[in-house]
Amino acid sequence: MELVFTQTAMASGITVTTNPDPEQLQSLDVTSWPIWSCEISTFPWTYDEQETCLLLEGDVTV
């Protein structure tokens, strides 16, 4: 199976990367990140700095 790496910049300043390559994941050290989960929810959060997340499954609307 061939992984296809794509990156899309959105008007909101959010960058979505699809199928990141293993080197990129290793450079981010994602194996040390905690796994967080929740039911369908709405969060009125704002961010003062850049945040990176890796979605393992499911959907998100930002």
- Predicted confidence at residue 43, as pLDDT, reads 82
Alpha helix segments (H runs only) across the chain: 22-28
Distance separating alpha carbons of residues 23 and 10, to the nearest angstrom: 24
Instruction: Please state the domain extents for the chain.
Output: 1-62
pLDDT confidence of residue 3: 46
pLDDT band at 1 (very low <50, low <70, confident <90, very high): very low
Using the predicted structure, report yes or no on whether residue 52 has a pLDDT greater than 80.
yes
pLDDT tens readout for residues 4-50: 556 666 556 778 888 888 999 999 999 999 998 888 888 887 778 88
Nearest to 12 by CA among 46, 41, 39, 56: 46
Specify the pLDDT at position 56. 85
